[in-house]
Structure 1
Amino acid sequence: MKKFDTFLEEQMKDPDFKSEFENLQPELDVIRAIVDARTSQNLTQKQLSERTGINQADISKLENGTRNPTLNMLKRLAKGMNMELKIEFTPKQA
């Protein structure tokens, strides 16, 4: 992971790259939260699909960033993992 961190640090010096990266961060955070929640319970995408009624292919698309989840879908995922969905706004860091 050291090589990636070094690469990212170098790329963040470019204002255009940094702006685009920061714009994508909320989507990346949602993806990471879904994957982390699912894997923390040792669930496969198929098992989560069975619990939620969400097609496994759609869960895969969410996790690889090619589909954006609706709020209803996030609620269903949380319920299927016996978790609470929490969305919050936080102040920007300077």
Structure 2
Amino acid sequence: MENLKYQPVPYDVEATIRRELKDEEFRKEFEELEPMYALISELLTARKLSGMTQEAVANKIGTTKSAISRLEGGSKHAPSVTTLRKYAEAVGCDLVIKLEPKRKTKV
């Protein structure tokens, strides 16, 4: 009989990203997606710190759990400032938007 015991395959995401960043095309796409992933991270962290579920946030905002899931999942549609403000209020945060000077590319 085969050994059916769960044996996870080790995978180092950070090492994979470091390796892939050596490819110019990958690096460019990765950098373009960085702001979206930063936003998602902020949303998830704020909700976790608030102790709220997606459903609780949705109820407080007046939307659906699936809408919150799409917002936190980085769907193709960019959220409006109004939506972000409502989300921030629901999880007990202030929405802060800032522009930062671009980082100079090392050559």
Compute the TM-score of the two structures, normalised by the length of structure 1. Answer: 0.92
Shift of 1:52: 1.2
Residues 1:68 and 2:61 are matched in the alignment: no
Please give the residue correspondences for 1:19-38 in structure 2 after superposition, counting only pairs within 5 Å.
19-38=28-47
Question: AA paired with 1:83?
Answer: C
Name the aligned partner's letter for residue 14 of structure 1. Answer: D
- State how far apart, in whole Å, the 2-side matches of 1:83 and 1:41 are: 9
User: After TM superposition, what 4+ stretches of structure 1 lie above 6 angstroms from structure 2?
Assistant: none
The alpha carbon displacement at 1:80 in A equals: 0.9
Q: Secondary structure at the match of 2:98?
A: coil
| Structure richer in helix, relative to its length | 1
CA shift, 1:70, in A, is: 0.7
RMSD between superposed Cα atoms in Å: 1.6
Which residue matches 1:89? 99
Query: Corresponding residue for 1:42?
Result: 51
Determine which structure has more spread, i.e. the larger CA radius of gyration: 2
Return the alpha-carbon distance in structure 2 between the equivalents of residues 68 and 62 of structure 1.
8
Query: % of aligned pairs identical?
Result: 28
Matched AA of 1:21? F
**Structure 1, gaps ≥5 residues long:** none
